[in-house]
Amino acid sequence: MENNDVLFQSICAGNVKDVEAAVNKKLEDKVNALEILNNIMVPAMNEVGDRYSRHEIFLPEMLIAAKSMQHGIKILEPYLAELGHTSKGKLAIGTVQGDLHDIGKNIVIVLLKGAGYEVVDLGVDCAIEKYETAIKEGAKVILASALLTTTMRAMKEIVGYIKENYPDIKVVVGGAPVSEDFAVEINADAYGEDASCVPNIVNGFLYP
Ligand code: B12
């Protein structure tokens, strides 16, 4: 994909200062924060992934691009989440064991907080025990993210464990290699294709 947008190009180049300036410019121009994220920043990360696949860039460049993306998201955060004072319930989300990708997970957290939930961030590389502790500490819905095809197996184990031991707890899965079919196959309660749909999914479980 070719995209001449300055923000798109700045993320691909991993230039933090340019990303900051471009995000601020769009906000000044009153472009909606979710649109900035979904229409420019996420496609830019996808472009970075494609360039990596084609061996046009290597791991350090991918990492630098990811850092600039995270910086941009931090600027957008207050616009994405107008935090309420009352919690609609406690949720926990983590990236599954073996997987260090957290940009998507962090966007899901911002939007769930914006929808009024208390969200416990379990971080990356989460073993089953971390999810279990969160359940024992009151999380009503568990969310799991995976970005590597190799860590989808860990996702399956986590969902299986939770469903067997805590049948009342809902489990939502997502991440680029995850699909609706895979979610059904591993017995998850729901699959979220992107972060924007997650608050509705959780509302459906806790406030049917
Ligand atoms: C940035 C990045 C990295 C960064 C991660 C930095 C970070 N802090 O996250 C770094 C450089 C560290 C990295 C490392 C690696 N990466 Co990487 N990475 C990417 C890249 C370019 C972008 C991922 C991303 O952030 N996308 C943007 C976010 C917003 O999208 P997202 O995560 O999909 O999230 C959205 C949805 O999926 C959904 N979502 C996400 N999580 C959840 C959870 C729930 C519950 C729900 C409902 C929804 C949901 O909502 C989000 C927003 O809408 C992808 C390429 C790609 N196109 O995905 C490769 C990619 C995922 N990486 C890949 C690889 C191979 C690796 C490495 C193995 C490379 C290496 N040789 O070491 C390592 C693995 C490290 C590890 N153990 O995890 C491959 C995976 C291939 C595969 N099929 O498994 C990809 C696809 C690149 C490629 N084309 O080859 N990577």
Strand partners, 96: 126
User: pLDDT band for position 2 (50/70/90)?
Assistant: low
7-26, pLDDT tens digit by residue? Answer: 999 999 999 999 999 999 99
Please identify, by atom number, the ligand 1 atom nearest to the C-alpha of residue 175: 37
Q: Which domains does the chain have, with CATH numbers?
A: 6-80 (1.10.1240.10), 90-206 (3.40.50.280)
CB 76 within 8 A of CB 82: no
Among protein residues, the one with the nearest Cα to ligand 1's atom 65 is 148
User: CA distances (Å), 38 to each of 8, 35, 141, in order?
Assistant: 11, 5, 25
Longest Cα pair distance anywhere in the chain, in angstroms? Answer: 50
178: nearest Cα among 202, 205, 145, 154: 145
**Count of CB atoms within 10 A of residue 104's CB?**
20
CA distances from 17 to 6, 14, 75, 95, 181 (A): 12, 9, 12, 28, 40
Which amino acid is located at 126 in the chain?
C
| Pairing of β 190-192 and β 170-174 | parallel
- Condensed to tens digits (0 to 9), the pLDDT of residues 146-159 reads 999 999 999 999 99
Contacts by 86-89, CB closer than 8 A, 24 or more apart: 86/116, 87/116, 87/117, 87/118, 88/115, 88/116, 88/117, 88/206, 88/207, 89/117, 89/118, 89/140, 89/141, 89/206
pLDDT of 82 above 70: no
> How far apart, in whole angstroms, are the C-alpha atoms of residue 151 and residue 147?
7
> Which residue of 56, 62, 97, 200 sits with most ligand 1 atoms within 8 Å of its CB, as the best mutation to test the pocket?
62
On whether the CB atoms of residues 64 and 96 are closer than 8 A, the answer is no
CA distance 149 to 156: 12
- The identity of residue 76, as a single letter, is L
Q: Whole-prediction pTM value?
A: 0.90
Residues flanking ligand 1, CB < 6 Å: 42, 45-46, 48-49, 52-53, 59, 62-63, 66, 98-105, 107-108, 143-145, 147-150, 172-177, 192, 194-195, 198
Q: In angstroms, what is the span from residue 147 Cα to ligand 1's centroid?
A: 5
| pLDDT tens digits along 137-188 | 999 999 999 999 999 999 999 999 999 999 999 999 999 999 999 999 999 9
